[in-house]
Amino acid sequence: MHVVSGQPSEFTVGGNMTEKIVIALGGNALQSGKDEPTAEAQLRVVRQTSEKIAEICDKGYEIAVVHGNGPQVGRILLASETAADVTPAMPFDVCGAMSQGYIGYHLQQCIKYALNKRNKNIPVVTVATQMVVDENDPAFETPTKPIGPFYKEEEARQIAAEKNYTMKEDSGRGWRRVVASPLPQKIVELHAIKKLWNSTVVISCGGGGIPVIEKSDGSLEGVDAVIDKDFAAELLAEHVGADILLILTEVEKVAVNFNKPNQRDITSMNLKEADKYCREGHFAAGSMLPKVKAAMKFVRANPEKKAIITSLDKAAEALEQKTGTTVTFA
């Protein structure tokens, strides 16, 4: 049972066992593609996102929140590099930590207010989270994770030549820088997150976690990478015993033959079906593929549980099995 200030938390419904959800927020939950990427514009989007999260809380679910940081960490890095003549540029892992701080600040402020408006006095806190990765992960040799702003092809080729960046086209939306995206191995602050769970909405593993490697002497060292937040959310969901991994993105349902005349939306799929669609190449590496793979990993480890992929606007409906794509073991 969740307890807040010595009283049963409003998370608990009628004394019944409450379902635990780890929510993975997509980029559209943090900023709009239509607006300038200012702090003010992002805060407006986060306010709307927080209402949706509070709505889920209001239905009696226990939740934890994980968010991405691709656009934000890219801009922080760009700003740092641009000002290098004035002040030393910050390394990539530090930029990732900075993004965790300011995105977490926006989310915890807005989620807390949205809960207060529903007469729910539940603390909301952000945990700066380190994520151990394998320094020999092959992802370091093949960058796939898009970060930062979109560019036209000509601009992208110029930036690649000038800065030795790897630039790739991103799902028909333009060209972006891509960086290594190693798989998460261990959440360093997991014990603290578990301690907080029984009383608090915890925002953690922001941007997939600050990527670090474990040295032979037990110390940690930051590395240049962005961990996929869907895989980070999956790892967290496994370790906190979540019942549902809820992956929120821009589309209401997963689709095969996406953006083609024969596109088909998927309401539910089991592991075997999902694996078949992945092998057939239906899902883009930088967007839907990691979401489906994370969902598969969660139900493979927890055959009695489920993952749901849907849009932020349809999240509450998807939890009631009215929409979205549900992924199950069988």
Active site residues: 27-28, 145, 229, 291
Distance CA 61, CA 78 (A): 39
Burial of 54 from C-beta contacts in 10 A (0-12 / 13-18 / 19+): buried
9: helix, strand or coil:
coil
Distance CA 118, CA 113 (A): 9
Distance CA 66, CA 23 (A): 6
What is the per-residue burial (b if ≥16 Cβ within 10 Å, else e) of 122-158?
bebbbbebbbbbeeebebbeebbbbbbeebeeeebee
Q: What does each C-alpha distance from 136 to 82, 180, 213, 223, 232 come to in angstroms?
A: 31, 12, 10, 12, 18
How many CB atoms are closer than 10 A to CB 36? Answer: 9
Contact status, residue 69 vs residue 81, Cβ threshold 8 Å: no
Distance CA 11, CA 201 (A): 10
Distance CA 83, CA 205 (A): 28
Rg of the chain on CA atoms, in Å:
19
